[in-house]
Structure 1
Amino acid sequence: MVKDIQEYGGCPVSATLKVFGGKWKPLILYFISVDVNRFGQLQRMMPGCSKRMLTNQLRELEGDGLIDREVFAEVPPKVIYTLTSKGESLRPIFRELSNWGKMNLLHQSDKN
């Protein structure tokens, strides 16, 4: 573990953002945490994210152990994404980000 932290200049925030940072991963994780758990639903919630980008980000999140992908034997195939226990540990962070976002929006509207 110490070696891993040293790779990020000793900064645990950098190590964290390496796993779920960027433009789309936080949104994907947040949406999955509030039961938006199908590919099409995720794509509708993030219209600026291409299918290819969404697929890549979902694969990376799965590879990092933050989400599970369950495929149901149906025609057409049904795929559901859920948070793993590791992913579930991010819920308090998303709750705080959501609270901060709401307060910031209120603050911005008060300025106008």
Structure 2
Amino acid sequence: MSVRARPPFGGLDASMEVISGKWKVLIRWALRDDPQRFGALKRQVPGVSEKVLARQLRELEQDRVVRREAYDDRTGLRVEYSLTPRGIDLYQALKPLGDWGRRHLAPDAAPDRG
């Protein structure tokens, strides 16, 4: 069920709905600095199929986390994806979670003694 269709039970479940999906966090990470074309995103998220990448990009766009912009230039139609202000805010919210994972779960992290 999407965030748009479910009753508001609180912020955490709504947030989890937007970041759920195996690839969504990695897609947002790939878009953190600059807009990316579909092919570049596919290379930055190894293992994702084109079908799944397209579906998850559509869902992120529906949640207003990712913006899809189409340009018609001399070489033809070009589509780029970027984070919206909402997506940037979500990236900032997830950054401490990534830091925690690097400190505690990364292969080179010291074992937790307590």
- TM surpasses 0.5: yes
Structure 1 distance, partners of 2:96, 2:88, is 14
Structure 2 portions without partners, runs of 5+: 1-5
Q: Could you tell me how far 1:92 is from its partner in structure 2?
A: 1.8
Contact 1:36–1:42 under 8 Å retained in 2: no
2:3 paired residue number: none
Match of 2:61, as an amino acid? E
1:35 paired residue number: 34
Q: Residues 14 and 87 of structure 1: is their aligned pair in 2 closer, same or farther, counting only changes over 3 Å?
A: same
Q: Residues 15 and 77 of structure 1: is their aligned pair in 2 closer, same or farther, counting only changes over 3 Å?
A: same
Structure 1 portions without partners, runs of 5+: none
1:55 paired residue number: 54
Per-residue Cα deviation, 1:13-62 (whole angstroms, up to 9, x for no partner): 22211122121111111211132622111111222110010001111111
**Which has the larger strand fraction?**
2
4+ residue segments displaced more than 4 Å: 105-109
Structure 2 distance, partners of 1:47, 1:82, is 19
**Which has the larger helix fraction?**
1
Q: Could you tell me the TM-score, scaled by structure 2's length?
A: 0.77
